[in-house]
Amino acid sequence: MYLARRRIKNETHFYIRQSYAGAGCIQSRDLVNLGTDPTRFIVYPGGNSYYIDPCIEESLRQQGLEVNQNDLDAIFFEFLSPETQRIVTGFDRSWKRRLIPSSSKPDAVPHIFDKRRFHYLRFGSRKNQYIQKVPEKIFRPLLNKSRDEIEQYFLTAENILKPSECLNYITIIFELNHFIPDPHTGLPLIVQLDMSFIDRLCRINNDPYYTAGIPSFQGLYEHLTKYAIMYFDSEVQKGLWRHDYIQDFINRHRVYTPPPKIQIKIREAEYLFEHTWKELQRMDRSALTRKYRQMALKHHPDHGGRSETFQRLSAYYQALLAKK
Per-position DSSP letters for 215-245, written without gaps between them:
---SS--HHHHHHHHHHHS-HHHHHHHHHHH
Query: Which one-letter DSSP state was computed for residue 26?
Result: E
- Rounded to the nearest integer, the mean pLDDT of the chain is 81
Residue extents of the structural domains in the chain:
1-99, 109-255, 260-323
- Kindly indicate the confidence band of residue 93, based on its pLDDT and cuts at 50, 70 and 90: low
In this structure, of 100-114, 150-164, 236-250, 295-309, the range with the lowest mean pLDDT score is 236-250
- Kindly indicate the confidence band of residue 317, based on its pLDDT and cuts at 50, 70 and 90: confident
User: pTM higher than 0.75, yes or no?
Assistant: no
Question: Which is nearest to 193 in space by CA: 267, 248, 148, 275?
Answer: 248
How buried is residue 160: exposed, middle or buried, by Cβ count under 10 Å (0-12/13-18/19+)? exposed
pLDDT of residue 244: 62
Query: Which one-letter DSSP state was computed for residue 324?
Result: -
Contact of 140 with 102, CB cutoff 8 Å = yes
Contact of 115 with 131, CB cutoff 8 Å = yes
pLDDT of residue 149: 92
- The residues facing 46 across adjacent strands are 49
SS3 of the chain: helix, strand, coil, percent, to 5 = 60, 10, 30
What is the C-alpha separation between 155 and 315, in angstroms, rounded?
Answer: 67
Q: What length does the chain have?
A: 324
Strands 42-46 and 49-52, by their bridges, are: antiparallel
- Kindly indicate the confidence band of residue 204, based on its pLDDT and cuts at 50, 70 and 90: very high
Q: Which amino acid is present at 72? A: L
- Kindly indicate the confidence band of residue 31, based on its pLDDT and cuts at 50, 70 and 90: very high
Q: Which residue has the higher pLDDT, 89 or 317?
A: 317
Query: Which one-letter DSSP state was computed for residue 161?
Result: -
